[in-house]
Amino acid sequence: MTGAGASRKGDPKLVTNGVTRSAWRRLARVSRWHRAYRAALVGVDFIAAFIASVIAVNLTPHANAGFDHGTEMVLYRYIVWLLLPLAWVAVLWANGGYDRRYFGTGNDEFKRVVRASMFMLALVSFLALTFKADVSRAAVAVILLSAALLIAGSRYAARLALHKARSFGRAVQRVMLIGSYPETMDVYRTVRRNSAAGLVPVGIYVTEGASSVRDLDTPVPVFAGTDVVTCAEQIKADTLAVCGTASTEKADLRRLAWQLEGTGRDLIVAPQLTDIAGPRVHIRPVEGLPLLFVEEPKISGIGWLIKNILDSTCSVIGLILLSPVFAAIAIAIKLDSPGPVFFRQARVGRDGETFRCWKFRTMYIDAEERQAALMMHNESDGLLFKMKDDPRITRVGRFLRRTSLDEFAQLINVVRGEMSLVGPRPLPAENGDFLGDVRRRLLVRPGITGLWQVSGRSDLSWDDAVRLDLYYVDNWSLTTDLQILFRTVAVVLRRKGAY
């Protein structure tokens, strides 16, 4: 990375090493979309906390008990309707609830809402005990619980609005990728698949092999041999992402970080160690050397027990509640074409054990015999046969696939302990033994829905599907399962990638 020691003498706010002149001067970031979004969140959180107070005061019995006098009632309402919402905003701010790094993606934003809720509970309890306030415990519980739920819900709505804006190219970070061309293109393809992350590559700075890129038709401008920050200024990039092996050059990376100080630009490192995240990764400094510790995946413990309980409970309840829908589907299948209502195919489950996967029949009964003649039209590059306009699918079957209703029969497999609600999709047993990375999917039970279903379904390549499944296995958590279940609802309603 050239230009690591370059200066920006023309900017009066900066000294030659990039550090701001005054420690009290606020750093102006190149990317400014987060300012309006943060201000909107502050307003939304205040309104949510205020509504929670109104709900508690008006709907909780004896909420105003002990405040019969006029002055006390005015003070009580002043505290509940103004000071308490302001306290929520202050506590959220102190817990990093308005940190721009957590806007739009990940669980950290909502973890901070939960943390702030716990702090508010402790704070209100402490103040009530200290001043011996005669307040209704039920009212306090309703205020705090409803405020936490309303704030989390409103923030989720704000996140959806942010994702919508990012789909139109607004509220994004303009990223310049740094590294070898193949490594930067890997990162380019990954971030382009997820517009909700708000990372838009606008340029590539090649650290090696620049001559091999000259005649290529690149999706974004490619630079080499000039100052990195100057290139970022030219293409108006507010974020620099160091990719792959370029991140291992610690001296260059450190100098680049120095050079960016005071410029208002963010620095991202996309290391070679990918697809490992969450609690498995810890950075522990030893004598000034940051060591990255990667622990084994934890597919056990209390979280795994809760997952199994949820699988059993939800599948039984689902079968009971959906029984009228299943009956209607069965009648429609019988009226549409001859054959059984259910289609059961041998699939590979946990630890390589085979089982019969249940689905509502969506094809004619001779579908498997006709598949050989259609292999030349296979649109999948993996172990599964996929074809958008498959002539073997019945009219009712096409509707069932579009709405994913055919998959609901797999609740039977979940009750039997052969599948889970969330997990890698089960692969056909006739494909034989799974070798290499694919076999790692068998460490967990296959699921009705999974990470690749909510990330593109049949529109994804086989390599991307395997990568997402392996990411799920390596970084499993109960929170991830709940997120996938929630996202599945939106994916099914959009019918994207279902055929």
How high is the pLDDT of residue 6? 40
Compute, in degrees rounded to 10, the torsion defined by CA atoms 326, 488, 395, 324. Answer: 10
What distances in angstroms separate CA 17 from CA 254, 255, 307, one per listed residue? 12, 10, 52
How high is the pLDDT of residue 480? 86
Three-state DSSP class for residue 281: strand
What distances in angstroms separate CA 447 from CA 298, 349, 410, one per listed residue? 18, 9, 9
What distances in angstroms separate CA 15 from CA 262, 266, 498, one per listed residue? 9, 18, 56
153 phi, psi to nearest 5 deg: -65, -45
Q: Locate 356 and state its tokens.
A: 């019969």
SS (H, E, C) 390-443: CCCECHHHHHHHHHCHHHHHHHHHHHCCCCEEECCCCEEHHHCCCCHHHHHHHH
Query: Which residues, 6+ apart, have CB-to-CB distance to 326 below 8 Å?
Result: 319, 408, 409
How high is the pLDDT of residue 173? 92
How high is the pLDDT of residue 10? 39
Tell me 26's DSSP state.
P
Query: Which residues, 6+ apart, have CB-to-CB distance to 35 below 8 Å?
Result: none
- Kindly report the number of other CB atoms within 10 A of residue 85's CB atom: 20
Residue with tokens 């001559």: 211
Compute, in degrees rounded to 10, the torsion defined by CA atoms 427, 428, 433, 434. Answer: -20
* Cα gap 323→319, rounded to integer Å: 6
* Cα gap 207→180, rounded to integer Å: 6
How high is the pLDDT of residue 288? 62
Task: Please name every residue paired with 176 in a beta bridge, in sequence order, or none if there are none.
Answer: 203, 240
∠ CA 225-237-40, nearest 5°, is 165
Tell me 226's DSSP state.
S
Residues of the chain whose pLDDT is less than 50? 3-16, 21, 23-24, 432-433
Compute, in degrees rounded to 10, the torsion defined by CA atoms 224, 230, 234, 237. Answer: 90
How high is the pLDDT of residue 70? 58
Domains of the chain: 33-167 (no CATH), 173-274 (3.40.50.720), 301-494 (no CATH)
Compute, in degrees rounded to 10, the torsion defined by CA atoms 44, 50, 54, 56. Answer: 100
- What is the sign of the dihedral through the CA atoms of 361, 363, 364 and 367? negative
Nearest Cα residue to 182 out of 217, 211, 206: 206
Determine whether 181 is exposed, middle or buried from the number of CB atoms within 10 Å of its CB (0-12, 13-18, 19+).
buried
> Cβ(101)–Cβ(39) under 8 Å?
no
